[in-house]
Amino acid sequence: MIGIVDYGMGNLLSVYSAFDYLGADVTICKHPEDLKDVDKIVIPGVGAFKDCIGKLKSENFQEALNEHVLNKAKPTLGICLGMQVMAKKSYEGGEYEGLGWFDADVVRLHPSDPSLRIPNIGWNEIDFKNDVVVFKGVPQKSDLYLVHSYYMKCNSQLDVVATYQYGQTVTAAVMKNNIIATQFHPEKSQDHGLKILENFINWKP
């Protein structure tokens, strides 16, 4: 059973629909205690970091997620803001503490080409490490869909498993132990995105 964390923000229904389309056993976790009943966890998200971490804390999801993701090592997928909140800190609209699962800061995009707009909205070619199981069967430099103004700047490049170019090298995906997270939206990235979600369904770290 895959549980999608519902903390009142973002792309929850489109993520649910994608997993349901793939035939996965999926549910929406509206309360922290719901995480006990699932084998895998998805943290979606669209919006501001401050609101995201605030909701996770106020609705008591932070402690539950630490228990099930870090202590019980359930396979976990973060998407877009759901990836960024896994960092130690964000500088979006101030300075805010994240979940701290990755040694990284969330910082604003600063492309070297002034013609590149912020936020970056659209399709970009993703370069990923070939040995990452969730990218199995996805062609190198596949176009995947992004919409963001901030990105995860990792202090350990070992955590970075995919990047793309936008007037700078931008982190597109990170991975550590039982956690995989993507800045792009697999649920909006057509066949290649669905393949990544299918690989997550079958992932056994």
Hey, which residues are catalytic here? 80, 185, 187
Distance CA 164, CA 125 (A): 6
Burial of 123 (0-12, 13-18, 19+ CB in 10 A): middle
Which of 109, 75, 103 has its CA nearest to residue 159?
A: 103
**Residue type present at position 36:** K
Neighbours of 81 (CB within 10 A): 27
Encode 132-158: b = buried (16+ Cβ within 10 Å), e = exposed: bebbeebeeebbbbbebebbbebeeee
